[in-house]
Amino acid sequence: MNGISLCIERGECYALLGPNGAGKTTTINLLSGLLLPDSGQVSINGYNPVKDPLLVKASIGVIPQEIALYDELTARQNLHFWAGLYNISPAEIRRRADAALERIGLKDRADQPLHTFSGGMKRRINIAAAILHRPVILFMDEPTVGIDPQSRIHIYELIDELHREGMTILYTTHYMEEAEKLCDRIGIMDLGLLVAEGSLRQLRDRLPNQSRIHLETRGLTPEVGVQLQHLYGDRIAIGEEQVWLSPTLVHRDIAELVRHCGELHVDIQHLEVTEADLEAVFLELTGRALRD
């Protein structure tokens, strides 16, 4: 990893998006104090992982990629064990474990060993085990890899709830849909570098010519078409009562196009913007597809 600089605000959900080997897990290991940086500084909740590793670790919860639980123990025993590593009283652990099992929809299976659970159910226990101690920051390292759609939805809902409750979340994924759906800001990583960062809008705006504005019109005569082509040049395509524009800046171009149509007495029946997705952004930034 080299030259990474990122700041995650309290209560923010931040996605690190990148293909396998981009450095997402290494970033988490650095932030959680498992790896020491050769240079640079890390501050988690005001603590330095090099100087105060235990304070950092007490502030964070980590959901690793692999389902790291004890299959022979029950769901409840697993939760009690993992919570017991933090400074929480046994009575409080019992209370929180019951609440967590309820929250993830597995209370009825609390006393069954994990080897009887599906992969998705184990993933949910994996998440519950990481939040029982109520961390300030939650690191989620590709928590939905290899699970069924139902469990995936459950996990999305859980993350959304945690986010709304104000938990700070760093979420690594190579699924752009997850980053788009769950997170406030997205950092795009490749080969150990943070190649771009921003909100979904800001990232999409980096590729304006991959977005398209599509109008369905009434009153679009050939003469009006010629006038529009004169105004926008190669960026515009005219069809029968239809206009396609590749914008340079989406919002500005929408406003201009709507204004020009009004001036030329063309009624707009339908307007649709097709934006560049993160896959395209990643391709543009790295020259490689996200899932390469």
> Which residues contact other proteins (rule: CB under 8 A)?
26, 29, 32, 34-35, 53-55, 57-58, 60, 62, 64, 66-70, 72-73, 77, 81-82, 84-86, 113
Starting at the edge strand that comes first in sequence, how are the strands of the sheet with 185-190 ordered? Answer: 60-63, 137-141, 168-173, 13-17, 185-190, 193-198
Report how far apart, in Å, the C-alpha atoms of 175 and of each of 15, 200, 278 are: 10, 14, 10
With respect to other proteins, which residue has the nearer C-beta, 53 or 208?
A: 53
Least distance CB 137 / other proteins (angstroms): 12
Phi-psi category of 70—alpha, beta or left, where left has phi over 0 and alpha has psi -120 to 50? beta
With respect to other proteins, which residue has the nearer C-beta, 48 or 227?
A: 48
With respect to other proteins, which residue has the nearer C-beta, 58 or 193?
A: 58
What is the distance between the alpha carbons of residues 190 and 275, in angstroms, rounded to a whole number? 22
With respect to other proteins, which residue has the nearer C-beta, 138 or 188?
A: 138
Structural element, H or E, at residue 171: strand 168-173
With respect to other proteins, which residue has the nearer C-beta, 65 or 210?
A: 65
Residue with tokens 């009690």, as numbered in its chain:
80
Least distance CB 6 / other proteins (angstroms): 20
What is the distance between the alpha carbons of residues 130 and 68, in angstroms, rounded to a whole number? 11
Phi-psi category of 233—alpha, beta or left, where left has phi over 0 and alpha has psi -120 to 50? left
Least distance CB 133 / other proteins (angstroms): 9
Least distance CB 192 / other proteins (angstroms): 15
What is the distance between the alpha carbons of residues 70 and 79, in angstroms, rounded to a whole number? 10
**What are the residues whose beta carbons fall under 8 Å from the beta carbon of 38, sequence distance 6 or more?**
none
Least distance CB 139 / other proteins (angstroms): 8
Q: Maximum distance among all alpha carbons in the chain?
A: 80
With respect to other proteins, which residue has the nearer C-beta, 59 or 151?
A: 59
With respect to other proteins, which residue has the nearer C-beta, 35 or 191?
A: 35
Least distance CB 235 / other proteins (angstroms): 49
Least distance CB 238 / other proteins (angstroms): 58
Strand partners, 44: 47
Strands 185-190, 193-198: pairing kind: antiparallel
